[in-house]
Amino acid sequence: MEEFLATMSKEDSLTYELSRLYKQWGYKEYRMAKFEEYSFYSDNRDFLSSKGILAFNNSDGRLMALKPDITLSIVKNAKLSDSLTKLYYNESVFRMSDSSLDYKEIKQTGVEVLGNIDEYLIAEVLGLAAKSLRKIDKDFVLSVSHMAFIPSLLSELEISENTKKDIIRCVKGKNIHDLRSICEKNGVAADKTELLSKLAGINGKINTVIPELCALACNNEMKTACSELEFIASSLSKSPLADRLFIDLSVLNNTEYYNGIIFQGYVEKAPSAVLSGGRYDKLAGKLRENTQAIGFAVYLDNLNLYYKKKREFDSDILIIFDTQSRSESLLSLVESFVDKGFSVRVEHSIPEGYKAKTVYSYENGALREVTAC
């Protein structure tokens, strides 16, 4: 199997490997239709990472959308169990692409847990996110943040919503110099500015940075978050993955939907995050009463670009046969190679640019090795 996976593209092999990982952890595959009513997505537009929604009219005139997001659809439609609903998916989403400036089909895989989310589940999902990243590249970083810090501090400040947006933009960009000048311009107290700057600048391994972070906790929300982070750090402390988990409070998501832990995953060869997730009780509660949720998505698009597989051979064996001669025994010869695990292509002549480890010509009922191409 491993040999077979090695021949697949990064995207295809990951789809298989991640599905296997999630199944091993007891998650059930969730399948869904490619489209849903447009109004559902337009009502929750702020949750979508891309603003464009590809819409069309169906046969009865209803405006439909090709799914721009999977999480929304799962939270709305999944059949909830009495206990926990643990799902994984391999789906396509249709979003506006930054590079092509047009809609693009993007392959996504991910997990969602719905129900009563506790600290163990948060640690399990974070662990799964880290394991998913390790499947992509052993050199990975999972940046972990918590909505209780910077958003809760901002909610205490008497500043306009636009100023809060400007500050959040600075935090996301680790832009402390502009953050300080915006705070000063808008009359934010010096001690709060200092605290915001320190929180935004925190960046270190989860095991080592938590004491520094918790020393800055100044309200109950932050203190609860600290105890949650301490539980996660201690749960994962014996795992080799722990070394790859970093606290980075510059990771921020929409406060209308997300609460609690949020995270983003990076691998060395990709220039932007390849995994994103977090706890979204606010969205879940909006769509399903008394439901909490946590999950993440792995963006498989572009991974083939960053993790190119060098194509050595198109197949193990190439057999050239003459159409003029009788070839009754050829099929059984090919089958015997395939049964032994070789990939075989049968052709009338060598296709242009084709590479095979061994090339045979089939003549008079027998194979004769010719110079490899």
Partner 1 sequence: MLNIALPKGRLGDKVYELFASIGYDCSEIYSDNRKLVFENKENGVRYLLVKPSDVAIYIAHGAADIGVVGKDILEEGDFDIYELLDLGLGKCNMCVAAPNDYVEDFDRPLRVATKFVNIAKNYYISINREIEIIKLNGSIEIAPLLGLTDVIVDIVESGKTLKENNLRVYEQIMPISARLIANKSSYKFKGEDIDRLMEKLTKELAK
Q: Given the complex with partner 1, which of 177 and 340 has the nearer CB atom?
A: 177
Q: Given the complex with partner 1, which of 273 and 373 has the nearer CB atom?
A: 273
Q: Residues near 86 by Cβ (< 8 Å), separated by ≥ 6?
A: 25, 26, 27, 28, 111, 112, 113
For position 143 contacting partner 1 by CB under 8 A, the verdict is yes
Q: Given the complex with partner 1, which of 275 and 318 has the nearer CB atom?
A: 275
CB of 144 to partner 1, least distance (A): 12
Of how many residues is the chain composed?
Answer: 373
Q: Which stretch binds partner 1 (CB under 8 A): 78-86, 271-279, 337-345, 355-363?
A: 271-279
Binding mask 188-207 vs partner 1 (x if CB under 8 A, - otherwise)?
---------------x----
**From the list 240, 271, 341, 353, which residue makes contact with partner 1 (rule: CB under 8 A)?**
271
For position 212 contacting partner 1 by CB under 8 A, the verdict is no
For position 302 contacting partner 1 by CB under 8 A, the verdict is no
SS3 content of the chain, % helix, strand, coil (to 5): 40, 25, 35
Strand ranges for the chain from DSSP E: 28-29, 35-37, 55-57, 63-66, 85-96, 103-115, 140-146, 203-205, 245-248, 261-267, 275-279, 292-299, 315-321, 344-347, 356-363, 366-370
Sheet of 55-57: strands edge to edge?
35-37, 63-66, 55-57
For position 263 contacting partner 1 by CB under 8 A, the verdict is no
**From the list 29, 43, 139, 347, which residue makes contact with partner 1 (rule: CB under 8 A)?**
139
**From the list 272, 325, 329, 336, which residue makes contact with partner 1 (rule: CB under 8 A)?**
272
CB of 323 to partner 1, least distance (A): 50
Q: How far is CA 313 from the centre of its chain?
A: 31
For position 305 contacting partner 1 by CB under 8 A, the verdict is no
Angle at 248 between CA 187 and CA 190, to 5 degrees: 20
Q: Is the dihedral of CA 136, 230, 205, 263 positive or negative?
A: positive
Whole-angstrom distance, CA of residue 249 vs CA of residue 251 = 5
For position 175 contacting partner 1 by CB under 8 A, the verdict is yes
Axis crossing angle, helix 220-235 with helix 119-136, rounded to the nearest 10: 60
**From the list 270, 294, 298, 320, which residue makes contact with partner 1 (rule: CB under 8 A)?**
270
Q: Given the complex with partner 1, which of 102 and 328 has the nearer CB atom?
A: 102
Pair 159, 179: CB distance under 8 Å: no
For position 280 contacting partner 1 by CB under 8 A, the verdict is no
**From the list 38, 89, 94, 246, which residue makes contact with partner 1 (rule: CB under 8 A)?**
246
Whole-angstrom distance, CA of residue 217 vs CA of residue 356 = 63
Q: Distances in Å between the alpha carbon of 104 and those of 35, 46, 185?
A: 15, 20, 42
CB of 268 to partner 1, least distance (A): 5
Q: Given the complex with partner 1, which of 67 and 244 has the nearer CB atom?
A: 244
CB of 173 to partner 1, least distance (A): 5
For position 152 contacting partner 1 by CB under 8 A, the verdict is no
Residue 130 region by backbone torsions, left for phi larger than 0, else alpha for psi between -120 and 50, else beta: alpha
**From the list 88, 266, 321, 337, which residue makes contact with partner 1 (rule: CB under 8 A)?**
266
Q: Given the complex with partner 1, which of 241 and 359 has the nearer CB atom?
A: 241
For position 46 contacting partner 1 by CB under 8 A, the verdict is no
DSSP symbols for 306-322: HSPPP---SEEEEEEE-
CB of 175 to partner 1, least distance (A): 4
Cβ density class 249-281: b for 16+ within 10 Å, e for less: bbbbbbbebbbbbbbbbbbeebeeebbbbbbbb
For position 273 contacting partner 1 by CB under 8 A, the verdict is yes
For position 220 contacting partner 1 by CB under 8 A, the verdict is no
Q: Given the complex with partner 1, which of 178 and 363 has the nearer CB atom?
A: 178
**From the list 212, 268, 322, 335, which residue makes contact with partner 1 (rule: CB under 8 A)?**
268
Binding site for partner 1 (CB under 8 A): 139, 141, 143, 162, 173-175, 177-178, 203, 246, 250, 266-268, 270-273
